[in-house]
Copies of this chain bind each other. A is one copy, B any other.
């Protein structure tokens, strides 16, 4: 949790942290500032003290909502610095950063670097800052073990409420898509039709999904997945917009809306087959559902997450599928990890990889996905079931937005002949 940050800094021997970038779509900055339209910002926090938020003059109102100490960049006379630096912009930027560090009470020490921003601009500036402040050591942590990923790993109840709220928006959208699809007319060749009689495409459905998420005031990253047939068999294929919607083909619908401005995410997948399913598809779906249920019945407080990846692989291998347990990066069968933490990052700690260490556990307060799947692109089919689950402090595992698992969706105006 956020209150762990100072202890984590101590543990990693960091005297301060330095965060760059926008207050939104930038998890460490959003975590510390609460968001708002504040771009090109800098945040410096000394261990044990409040953060100082450096922003442009024009964004002072937005920045003030953070409740942090605000210093405007205009406090530092950049034009004057540029003159002093003989028009060397990287040096002038470093001179300004030196003044900012001093205003944040930092003259030397180990400083952790965070945030998402333009790499080259910061790399160049920090190279010059090193000349100006040799006592400052900039430290780049490995992503998954960084103090932010560790602090963010456990959520307090207000964070869980926000994830639950976005979960409700997610299932509302999924339900609306289900309702829309099952009410379509169907042509003789089993292609779904729009109101105007033309064929319904995957692209048409993508547009509806975008619209229905936007209507609820949430944000939908552009890579969400609504894919049919072969594309459903490629785990991260978004779906080919030109594909026609047909009965009896597997549809993977993986959607992860976020609060507006890149806030908390919800991650969710269902697999559908409209009208009917082929016997082979039904069998594979049933396997995915069986291991999904077995996992749900076996999640234990504080157990290593990777144990469940192993359980999933063993189950699927017993059914004759390839998995990462005994195949290097398979592209058919079960081809990915079981799950991941969800929060301000769509993928965050804990991770379920078989090589993940014991620190990736089902600790009280983590929010994880469970998402077993099977992929057979050559057979033109794929399957995945995914919910976002809160590991409650009382040890109960709570799906934050419940939704039915039906595979075959009966069509309202079509019956198998």
Nearest B residue to A75 by beta-carbon distance? B329
Tell me the minimal C-beta distance from A305 to chain B in angstroms. Answer: 17
- The 8 Å CB contact of A222, one of B24, B125, B140, is B24
User: Are A117 and B120 closer than 8 Å at their CB atoms?
Assistant: no
Identify which of A152-160, A162-170, A172-180, A206-214 touches chain B. Answer: A206-214
User: With the chains together, A128 CA to B261 CA distance in Å?
Assistant: 34
User: Is A93 interfacial (CB-CB < 8 Å)?
Assistant: yes
Q: Chain A, 91-102, contact with B by CB distance < 8 Å: what is the 0/1 string?
A: 001000000000
User: Is A9 interfacial (CB-CB < 8 Å)?
Assistant: no
Tell me the minimal C-beta distance from A97 to chain B in angstroms. Answer: 13
Nearest B residue to A24 by beta-carbon distance? B222
User: Is A86 interfacial (CB-CB < 8 Å)?
Assistant: no
Chain A residues 32-65 with CB under 8 Å of chain B are 37, 39, 56-62
User: Are A120 and B124 closer than 8 Å at their CB atoms?
Assistant: no
User: With the chains together, A306 CA to B212 CA distance in Å?
Assistant: 44
User: Are B142 and A123 closer than 8 Å at their CB atoms?
Assistant: no
User: Are B121 and A115 closer than 8 Å at their CB atoms?
Assistant: no
Q: Which residues of the other chain, B, contact A328 by a CB distance below 8 angstroms? A: 74, 77
User: With the chains together, A79 CA to B329 CA distance in Å?
Assistant: 11
User: With the chains together, A336 CA to B57 CA distance in Å?
Assistant: 10
Q: Which residues of the other chain, B, contact A217 by a CB distance below 8 angstroms? A: 207, 210
Instruction: Using known A-B contacts A37-B236, A120-B112, A236-B37, determine if residue A222 contacts B58 with beta carbons closer than 8 Å.
Output: no
Chain A residues 97-149 with CB under 8 Å of chain B are 112-127, 138-146
User: Are A90 and B142 closer than 8 Å at their CB atoms?
Assistant: yes
User: With the chains together, A403 CA to B112 CA distance in Å?
Assistant: 48
Copies of the chain in the assembly: 2
User: Are B222 and A89 closer than 8 Å at their CB atoms?
Assistant: no
User: With the chains together, A57 CA to B234 CA distance in Å?
Assistant: 10
User: Are A141 and B120 closer than 8 Å at their CB atoms?
Assistant: yes
- The 8 Å CB contact of A127, one of B118, B125, B140, B235, is B140
Q: Which residues of the other chain, B, contact A219 by a CB distance below 8 angstroms? A: 222
Q: Which of A114, A140, A141, A329 has the most CB of B within 10 A?
A: A140
Q: Chain A, 19-33, contact with B by CB distance < 8 Å: what is the 0/1 string?
A: 011001100000000
Tell me the minimal C-beta distance from A126 to chain B in angstroms. Answer: 8
Nearest B residue to A263 by beta-carbon distance? B222
User: Is A82 interfacial (CB-CB < 8 Å)?
Assistant: yes
Q: Which residues of the other chain, B, contact A381 by a CB distance below 8 angstroms? A: none
User: Are A79 and B37 closer than 8 Å at their CB atoms?
Assistant: no
User: Is A335 interfacial (CB-CB < 8 Å)?
Assistant: yes
Instruction: Using known A-B contacts A211-B214, A236-B58, determine if residue A141 contacts B119 with beta carbons closer than 8 Å.
Output: no
- The 8 Å CB contact of A62, one of B124, B236, B335, is B236
Instruction: Using known A-B contacts A58-B236, A238-B37, determine if residue A140 contacts B113 with beta carbons closer than 8 Å.
Output: no
User: Is A237 interfacial (CB-CB < 8 Å)?
Assistant: yes
User: Is A223 interfacial (CB-CB < 8 Å)?
Assistant: yes
User: With the chains together, A56 CA to B210 CA distance in Å?
Assistant: 26
User: With the chains together, A235 CA to B59 CA distance in Å?
Assistant: 8
User: Is A402 interfacial (CB-CB < 8 Å)?
Assistant: no
Instruction: Using known A-B contacts A210-B214, A211-B211, A235-B58, determine if residue A119 contacts B140 with beta carbons closer than 8 Å.
Output: yes
Q: Which residues of the other chain, B, contact A142 by a CB distance below 8 angstroms? A: 89-90, 93, 121, 124
Instruction: Report 10 cross-chain contacts, Cβ distance below 8 Å, ordered by A residue.
Output: A37-B236, A56-B236, A58-B236, A61-B237, A113-B123, A114-B120, A120-B143, A123-B140, A127-B140, A222-B261
- A interface residues (Cβ-Cβ under 8 A, vs B): 20-21, 24-25, 37, 39, 56-62, 72, 74, 77, 79, 82, 89-90, 93, 112-127, 138-146, 207, 210-211, 214-215, 217, 219, 222-223, 231, 234-238, 260-262, 328-329, 331, 335-336, 355
